[in-house]
Every structure is written in C-alpha cells, then in structure tokens.
Amino acid sequence: MQKAVKQASWMNTCAVTALLLGASSASARAEETAPAAPPAAAPAAEEPAGVGDIVVTARKKQESSNSIGMSINALTGDTLAKQGILNTADLVKAVPGFNYTRSTYGTPVYTLRGVGFNETTLAAAPPVSVYVDEVPLPYSVMAQGAALDVQRVEVLKGPQGTLFGQNSTGGAINYIAAKPTKTLQAGADASFGRFDSFTGSAFLSGPITDTLRGRIAIRRESSGPWQQSATRPGDRTGGTDRTQGRILLDWDANDKLTFELNANGWIDRSTPQAGQYVGVISTRAPANVAGAATTAGNAQSADWDPNTRFYTHDNFYQIALRTNYDFTDDLKLTSITAYQKLHRDTLTDADGLAVNNFTAGNKGYIKSFSQELRLAGKYGDHVNWMVGGNYQNDATYDTFSPQASSSSFPFKAATAMGHNQVNTYSAFANVDWQVLPKVTLTGGVRYSYQFRDYVGCLFDSGAGDLAAVVASASTRLSGSTTTIAPGSCVTISSTTYKPSYYQDSLNQGNVSWKAGVNWEVAPHKLLYATISKGYKNGVFITTGATFAAQLAPATQESVLAYEAGFKLSLLDRKVQLNGAAFYYDYRNKQIRGRVIDAVLGGLNRLINIPKSRIAGAELQLVTEPVKGLTINAGATYIGSKILGDFSNFTPTGTAMLMSGEAFPLTPKWQLTGDIGYDRPISQTFNGFIGASATYQSATNSALGAQSLFAVNAYTLVDLRAGVHTADDKWRFSAFVHNLNNAYYWTNVSYAGPDVAARFAGMPRTYGITAGWRFQ
C-alpha cells in the first residue's frame, strides 16, 4: 500500500495544489455570489419528456441518454426495483446484449455483445468493467454490492477508457448511488419468498450540518438451501447468506470545493451451489466415476461429497474519496482516490458426484489502490474537452487446492499458488466538437502501460504422492536424479526440467482510441457512427501446473469496433426506437483452452486466439401508448467466429481445428421484454401489474462445441402485481420468477480431470414484497 501511494504521489500533489489554490481564491471572494450552474442537458421544461428519456452522465456531463451517439442502456433505481433486479447478474432481464454466466467457483462472468472472459483466477481483469460513481471495481468478484441503493445504472457497450476508469474491450457498467439529501428521507423494503428467502433493505439520508450530508444503506439477503442430494434424501445445499452496506458523506467545503466519501463493503457466508454431473471426459476415470448416474434433468437435483461442509467465506470493503473543484463554471477538476480489499475463502464441489472426484478450495486476497485525476472544460459554446491520468496498484494472492481422492489424478490433494504484483499507468483525453448546429464530432485517446510480475507453483499436499510422481518425470526428462520433499513445489522448469518456482513478467503498453460523428437529423432523431479500439490487459493463470509452460501468460487482447446506429423519438415522443449494427475485429482473444500434461493429462491453460470477429445488431423499443402502460422490448444478434487456422484441444483431449467456431458461452440471439400497467383504483391507491421475459438461444461452454458441453436455449418469464399509494410512500406486491419453471443452465464446467458438470438456474420462485418511503 505504501508503495502504491508513493507511486501515485505525483497525481495527489497536483490535486492538492489545485485545491489549495482554489480554496484561497474562493476565500478572497467569499462575499461574491457564484453564478448558477448551467442547466442539465435534459428536455426543456415546457416540453414533456419522451419515453425512455433518462438523464445520464456517461460522458461526464448531464444529458439525455437518447441524445448520446453511443450504445447505452440506462435504468433508474425505481425500474430496477420493480423488475426485481437486485444485482448485476439480473441486468440480463433489461439490457439487450448483456449476458451473465456463473463460473465454476462462483466468480461472475459478465459479457457484452459477445465480449467476455470465463476465468476464475483472482488476478484476471474482466473485459466488462463495473463502477460505482466512476470508482472502479477492477475485478468482477468485487461487484457483489454494486447495486445497493442506486439512483440508476448506465451500461455502456463497446470499448471504453477514453473518459474515465480503466481500459476495457467489452464495455462498462456504471452504478450511480443514491446521494445524500438536503432533507430527511428514509425508506425500507422487505421481500419473503420460496425456500425461506428473505431480502431486506433500508436507507436513511439527510443533512448533518448546513454543509455536510450523509446517507447510510444496508441490505440483508438470506434463504434456505434449494438443492437436494440425488443419493441422500434430506441432504440439501445452496443457501444464501449475504450482507451489504454503504455510508456516503458529501461535504460542501465552499461554493467551489466539494468532497464525496464512500465507504462500503459486503460479507458473503452462503453455501455454494453444487454442480450436476452430466458425463465423463476422460478414459482414465475410475470405475465409480465412469459408471455414475447423471444428476442433470431437474434444477433442484444435484450431488456432492457426503460429510463435507462446503462454504463461502468472502468479504470486501472499499473506501473512496471524490474531490471536485470548480475553477469556473467551465473548468472543473476531479480527483478520485480509492482503496479496496477482497478476501476469498471457498470450498466448492465441482463434479456433481457423491464421491470425491474434484473438490476445489480457493483462498486468496486482492488489494487494489487507484488514483485518477482529470480536468474538464469548455472552449466557447461548441467544444467540451477533458484530459486525465490514472494510476492503479494491485496485489493479488491466489491459491487453488484440488481434492481428488477418487479421480485419474495420481494424487489425492495439492495446492497451486499464484501471486501478482501489478502497476498500471494511464493518460487519456476526450473532446466533443459541435462543428455544425446539428453535427458533433467526438474523439478520444488513451495510453496505458502495465507492469505485471508473477510468481507461481504447484505444491504437494505433504503426503508425498504428487512429489513422487513429478520427481520420477523430472528424473527421466533431465537425465539426473530428482528428489522432491513432501509439501514442496513440484512445477518443472521448461529449461532445466527440475522443480522450481515459475517467475515471469508481462510488461505491455497500448493506445486505445475512439472517433465518432453524431447528426441530429431532426429534433429528437439522432444518427451516429463510431470507430473505437480498446484493450484488455494480459493475465497469468492460477492452476495446477506440473510443467511451467502451463503458467505462460495470455497476452493483452484488443477489439477494433465499428458501429452505426440511430435513436428515434416518434409519435409525439410516445415511442423511442434505438438500433445499432456493429462489427468487432477481435485480436488475441483471451480464453481458457487445454494443454496435454505428460503427467496429469488434459489441463486448463490460458491461451490467445489470434484472430476472430463479432458481427451483430440490436434493436430496442420503448413506448407508452396510453397513460400508465409501458412496453420495453429489445433484441440482440451476435455472430461470433474464430478466424484463421486456430487449433486446440477439446475438454476430452481431442486436438482439432477450431476455425469457424462461435465463441463459447455466446448465444446468437438474446431477447428481453417488459410490460407494465399502472392506474388508479381509488383516490388513495394505484394498482399495477407487469410481466417480463428473457430468451437466450443455444450456445456451448467449451472450445470444440462437443454436445456434452451444450447450453440449451431457454426462456424465463416473471410476473408481478400489487398496489401502491398515490404518493408512492407505500408499495405492496407479489411476484413469480421463472413462471414456466424452465430447467436451464448457463455453464457446463470441466474444471476437474474426469467429468463435466453443469450449473442450473433457480426453479420457479415466488413471494411478496413491501416498501415504504418517507420524505
């Protein structure tokens, strides 16, 4: 941490100097009245807002989401609550082109328009970045509490990085937290449902002094186990136990200088979901595994090792300080400083069997410090510009401990370790130039350089079984006798063929950029076109490697994105129709592939796919044909393909040419729809009813597209109905999720040596909710 602060001192020095100068200037003019801030670029007061018009800050200024020449989906906190969207994974219900997958050990995988990364290594930065008030949550596993007490969420699609935060190839999800208020406000919500589920949340907001405001929010989620053992009636797993909290403090030091402090965190003590065994992938699997009956077919039916306590003991906290100083109405300085730490400790059954074929323990931590400094301003009435810099220091320690007493592995247990020390430096700039009354040009550039140092190794458990096997292989390959003590590092060097720690560095730089044109062909009718390029940094894997070559990194990936679209307000602004077509030229896509280990057989390894592409289109319709009736529907088509001559191994160990294949876990079609009707039923109460549906077409979870790893198409339907007071202070409703009780799964894992297991989605759930607001 001290090293991180020291390396970021140049940014902090600049920020402090500017703030001190500004404070002195403000003091000298203390009796002057500051001019009023310019109004938000929202529809004029005399003009009614159109449907789907949400004021966003995606480009660091307030403007309607439908006036921005980029693909962005914005949802208010009220919309999220009504549709039962409690976390980032639930955004699949409302955001076309967004996909969520549960990885083998529970790490969330977020994908936008086919750009995602199914990886469980703690140090693997995602291609879709998550933020809260522009403060990055640099690793997806940190994002569990991001959706707590939010004003809105903005989902930006395509490469990002020229405006704020970190580089990304897929997009960014920025949650805007509900802010401390100048008047006393409070609220609470409670939900009770199937499987003894309970979700309760509350907030309190208001002034502390004339210049200091505060807000506190908390959420508690719990449920009983929803999965049952296929071989042991009465044995259950899959319970939820999570607590999230946030404290916000806003201080107006003077009329130009403000501070925003955000302290938040969460604790997860849930019981991990068990997999459903679907088949054997190794001819060396022991008889009690190869002859097992599959547990797939019913969402609630699964299996796991008897007399074993599987658990999640994860926790996270973050402290972030945002400092804003307004030199003038047109020149603003922003500093964002954040420190966060995550601790992970889980034990997961990854085979879906009642025997110990593959159980995984994951322990580790992430410490991350970031500092951003940016200056934004205007030149005349037609140019908005911004320049900034960003520094991030990450330290990750990750251990992966397989237990495989009944498997084809020649050992019963082991522990793999990976340690990353990462420093990333970035500078960025962006400009919007209104060259004609209805035409605006946009451009941005970002330079980033990352220094990544890695140390990793696979350790014998102390029993000496793995050490003896690897020592024999080392003796044979090196030509001299090798002895490995029990409990020692067993990873064999690729040059000496002797066991040693694997140490390597990955230092890479890149220049990402964006250029675009926006043309307002008529009032509230926008055409736009953009070209952008984004990068995702390279990564080392944490895995059981008997040979050092398995730990070689995947280098940085890039996406060159072409997009053209429209945003049309029609029929007296009662209909909003947005659409876009896009083409992504993908280079060095990072993905989990396979390598054949001489000792252990087929094992996972991170690889790069040299050339691939995504071609697609999306369309979204929002309309309110009559007062109280709202309809929101979206469709996305994603055509992904591996190009060139690319070969790798399937999970079953078969080498094959994979050119022409679609990306794993990338459905071609994604459809979303929501309809709601709200109308008065008395002078005091309104009644409402609504339904939402999502559809995803079939895909496959692994390279090679083998049928064992198929993810079938599925449709999910939710219903809601209830009443609320006319002033919306009270709200009561009932809900049903997965009304059709669809049996579906989002991933098929092949983490272990012998079997594949799928992770099913929840069956039908139902319940009631109540909400109260005071202001």
Domains of the chain: 2-26+60-774 (2.40.170.20)
What's the whole-number mean pLDDT along residues 65-91? 89
Residues 773 and 775: their CA atoms lie apart, in Å, by 7
Please tell me the distance from the alpha carbon of residue 259 to that of residue 271, in angstroms, as a whole number: 39
Q: Is the pLDDT of residue 43 over 60?
A: no
Is residue 429 within 8 Å of 375, Cβ to Cβ?
no
- Residue 347 exposure: Cα atoms within 13 Å on the Cβ side: 9
Residue 62 has pLDDT above 90, yes or no: no
Write down the pLDDT at residue 335: 97
What would the pLDDT profile of 698-752 be if each residue is shown by its tens digit?
999 999 999 999 999 999 999 999 999 999 999 999 999 999 999 999 999 988 8
Could you give the percent of the chain with pLDDT greater than 90?
78
Q: What is the pLDDT of residue 635?
A: 97
Q: If 0-12 CB within 10 Å is exposed, 13-18 middle and 19+ buried, where does residue 622 land?
A: buried
Residue 12 backbone zone (phi > 0: left; psi -120 to 50: alpha; other: beta): alpha
State pLDDT tens for residues 490-523.
Answer: 999 989 999 999 999 999 999 999 999 999 999 9
- Indicate the average pLDDT of the chain: 90
Determine contact, residues 199/242, Cβ cutoff 8 Å: no
Q: In what order do the strands lie in the sheet with 135-137?
A: 72-76, 150-157, 171-177, 128-132, 135-137
Within 10 Å of residue 718's Cβ, how many Cβ atoms? 19
pLDDT in the model for residue 599 = 65
Question: Residue 600 — very low, low, confident or very high, per pLDDT cuts 50/70/90?
Answer: low
- Calpha distance 567→620 (Å, rounded): 10
Q: Tell me: the pLDDT tens digits for 351-377? A: 999 999 999 999 999 999 999 999 999
Task: Report pLDDT for 2.
Answer: 44
Residues 6+ apart with CB under 8 A from 256: 22, 23, 25, 26, 34, 325, 326, 327
pLDDT, position 31: 35
Cα 190 from Cα 478, distance rounded (Å): 65
CA neighbours within 13 Å on the CB side: how many for 273?
23
> Torsion angle, CA of 50/55/58/60, rounded to 10 degrees?
130
Name residue, tokens 């077409």: 697
Confidence check: pLDDT of 45 > 60: no
State the Cα–Cα distance between residues 232 and 179, nearest whole angstrom. 50
Please state, in angstroms and rounded to a whole number, the distance separating the CA atoms of residues 561 and 558: 10
Average pLDDT over residues 78-96: 90
Give which of 248, 212, 73, 184 is closest to 618, Cα–Cα.
73
Cβ-contact 289, 280 below 8 angstroms: yes
Q: Which of 176-190, 503-517, 596-610 has the lowest mean pLDDT?
A: 596-610
Within 301-377, residue ranges assigned H as helices are none
3-state secondary structure of 236: strand
Task: Give the CA count within 13 Å in the CB-facing half-sphere of 92.
Answer: 23
Cα radius of gyration rounded to whole Å, the chain: 27
Confidence label for 433 from pLDDT (cuts 50, 70 and 90): very high
pLDDT the model gives residue 540:
95
